[in-house]
Structure 1
Amino acid sequence: MNELGKSRRELATSAPAPQVRLVEVDEGSAGQRIDNFLLRECKGVPKSHVYRILRSGEVRVNKGRIDATYRLVLGDIVRIPPVRMAAPNAPAPVPAATFPVLFEDDYLLAIDKPAGVAVHGGSGVSFGVIEQLRQALPHLKFLELVHRLDRETSGILLLAKKRAALVGMHEQIRQNRMDKRYLVCVKGEWTDRQRAVKVPLYKYVTAEGERRVRVQDDGQASHTVFRRMESLAPYTLLEAELKTGRTHQIRVHLAHLGTPIVGDDKYGDFTLNKALAKPGVKPGIKRMFLHAWRLRLTHPVLDTPIALEAPLPPECEKFLKQLRGTVPDAKP
């Protein structure tokens, strides 16, 4: 049974062979569209088949037919017809994990995500922060990501503990009312104190199947405001304020300007990255220097202001101190 299944009462259990399931909608699924609910409930079932059983009327809510746009109501009884799930072998168990908490109430949870940890499973990663937190916090009936961070990016990650909070936060994001700022160290010197970058970004997949983004005329509009925080020639510490939230936006903007992020393994200076990662080298760093350090928002339910800050990780602080010449040479 998947994580959502654990949080709701099933009125009919499944046998090894596919059988009809009757699932009562709890507060974690109230307000969700029926098609999205089914995609979560029927893990491994092709999306085309899910929509086929919807169109055919095999899926019923309170014994009545519905279409794919129906939004579930607390207490609805959903009839899910027999569907054969994928995954003949049981998946490897997800290890529970906790992360430094920056803010928590009944509606929101903000953590300080370390670099190297994916926010969710997929693309060759079997699990991420969201799956690990669900294991660590089984009492929460609802827990979803409000936004995402790249795997190698550290810093503030916001999650919703109620659907109302998730909907409210997504509305703030759509209206550009959430202030997200990152600290980033780049190769190259900046003369401008502040610079706005607006270029269209186009997503594509490489021959190896990896997701990438490039500047291209028919791409999506994107906007980042960069502010020079400290000149550390031949590097610069910047603050990046996101005005839009495109995939890999900060990374592609900086690479496009000819000032790639230190340690960026997708868009960076690969020769430099390799040199900086060697043991004993000074300055040295083995990760991408991109950190979500400040987040300002309005509470989606209580309508109060929230200001969050995550300090730079020790490895980033050490790199800056080495650039400033305040750390003794590392021994080989």
Structure 2
Amino acid sequence: MSAWHWGIVAWLLFVVLHWVLSGRFWLWLLADLIPPVSYLVVPLPLLAAAAVVAPAQPWGVAGALAALVLGVGHSGLNLGALRPADQSPADAIRVLSWNTEYWYRSGTPEGLYDFLRAQRADIYVLQERILGSHADPQEAPDLPRLRAEFPRHNVVAGGELVILSRFPVLGTPPVGPAKALCAQSPWRQVYDLTKILRADLQVGKAVLSVYNVHIPVQYAPGDNVLRPSFYTRLRERNMKRLKHFRGLEADVAANPNAVLVSGDFNSTGAMRDMRRLFSRLSCANQVARHVFPWSWSRLWQLDWTLTSAVRVHEYRLGDPHGISDHRLQELLISVSHPRKASTDDRPRIPPA
């Protein structure tokens, strides 16, 4: 066989293994790191080569075509960008979801607050409200200032996550591993277990549950793959990730409210970890103007917004202007299925 045919066999085998192993075998997390666009740009030249170089061997074309068909759904190709844009109503709710990259580490507090205020969002869903790094996180001691900078917003915070809302907060039920926390839990434990922060908001006659998500990474730069400890940590990280994913999935499934799930999932659309959420919720990418959406390093979309009983009129991945390595998720939404709060759901804002 020619080199092209070996390439077709190898890539087809990789795609099949991805279907089988992603989300089922922790070691496949390493293979999950490839840019999703690879599932489109790798089989296309292989298909062309098979058709031109060896047209008398149709199995080569069939193999490359099979790899393309199996993988194109994982490529991040967003055909919804080709549809006409929706007309947003004047009273649409503006949402900003963003991984700030260690709060104001890359600049000054004033620069961060000025940038956030300029977004004029009704709801802010922010991750990494910490100083230092994830290896040695420290709480950013600015909740009083945050409230002062956004006097028209209610502030809900847990660990590294914060939600700012112009709408009344009805409650903040714990989700997933955070259910093990208590009022006396130290901040570091809160940080470790609170990777999903839920706030139920009274939006007109509807209740909107906003989930702020930051799933832990599976791989950290600098990890040495030649050391046995690397694989021990990889397996442990996979277990932590799955606990947060399963906790989120269970909470969303039991939630009767309108739902907006947004944040940094540290997962691409090609990974099985996202499939249960994709099957239950609608992805905001459907109204994006990006044919290949990316939110990190130009090759990966790791930041997602998923909804239920919420209409997304606009979804854009905006420029962070050098403050963060993650792009902003900017949305205009309407809550389409109102539900009145019960008499026990009087607005209450728990201490952050």
- TM surpasses 0.5: no
TM-score normalized by the length of structure 1: 0.26
More RCO (CA 8 Å, sep 6+): 2
The structure carrying a bigger helix percent of its residues is: 2
TM-score normalized by the length of structure 2: 0.25
